Amino acid sequence: MVGASRIELLSNKKEPKGKGHYLFAMETFTHAWPLVAAVRYDDRLARATGKWMYHAAHSARYFYPDQLEPDMQTNWDWASKHSTALPYEGIKDRNCDTDKAGPYGCGDPTIHGWGPSNLGLYSGCLSGAFGAIIEPTSVPGVLSLNLNATDTFAPKSFATRLLYNPGMTKVQVEIDVDEGVSKVWDTVHDVMLSQRVVDGKLRVEIDPDDAIVLVLIPDDTTVTKAQGRLVGGDTVIDYAVR
């Protein structure tokens, strides 16, 4: 079971006292690393990835001591005196000792007796993946995900952003684009959005529970179709044009 995005789904399920569903910080942060980058090569992943990242981004705060009640974590005494910047290795949906409904910050070190603390330095450093990927937009709750940030050893590419609308109504979103960008291609819906760039701002509408993937193309780029792909010069814009 991977990641903090499952916490709300699990909170209503009952497990025997001392057990509980178990979610891990490291798996949550590292899962985003390849998952988000993969969308640039296959836009069929866009909606599911956007939805997962929305829930993970909002739920991952529960790994940190200052986001939990003192009696719903194993190391509050230390964290409250020294630092709340280290996340717990994991969270469960209930306190393993009292059976109080979670989230409950804990980890394998004290559960299995091989360490004095469940606060995980190795988990916390990987939160940088979220920091590199996630950016705000003009609409609260609608995130802009940088598909280039964790695409290690990627071929030449243009800046690419994934936006997902988690709401029940259509929204209009505004994001900043770099100077010199006037062509914007949505790989999910196969449409050019050039006319929506005004004064360094891109304005787009997103349907409920839908995602768009925006490729920001420099002004002087000639865009052509070749072998089922959309290409700008020697750079692939869209790997599957329908």
Same domain, 23 and 80: yes
Domain boundary among 68, 98, 129: 129
Q: What is the pLDDT of residue 10?
A: 43
Same domain, 123 and 144: no
Do the bridges between strand 229-232 and strand 201-206 make them parallel or antiparallel, or are there none, so unpaired? unpaired
Give kind and range of the element (H or E) at residue 156: none
Domain boundary among 129, 163, 195: 129
Domain boundary among 129, 156, 173: 129
User: For residue 1, what pLDDT band results from cuts at 50, 70 and 90?
Assistant: very low
Residue 163 phi/psi, 5° resolution?
-125, 130
Residue 150 phi/psi, 5° resolution?
-115, 20
> For the chain, what is the domain count?
2
- Residue partners of 222: CB distance under 8 A and separation at least 6: 232, 233
Same domain, 100 and 171: no
Domain with 44, as residue range(s), is 4-129
Closest CA to 59 of 98, 97, 118, 10: 10
Same domain, 17 and 122: yes
Residues 83-119: tens digit of each pLDDT: 999 999 999 999 988 989 989 999 999 888 888 999 9
The whole-model pTM stands at 0.87
CATH number at residue 148: 2.60.40.1180
Same domain, 125 and 141: no
Amino acid in position 97: D
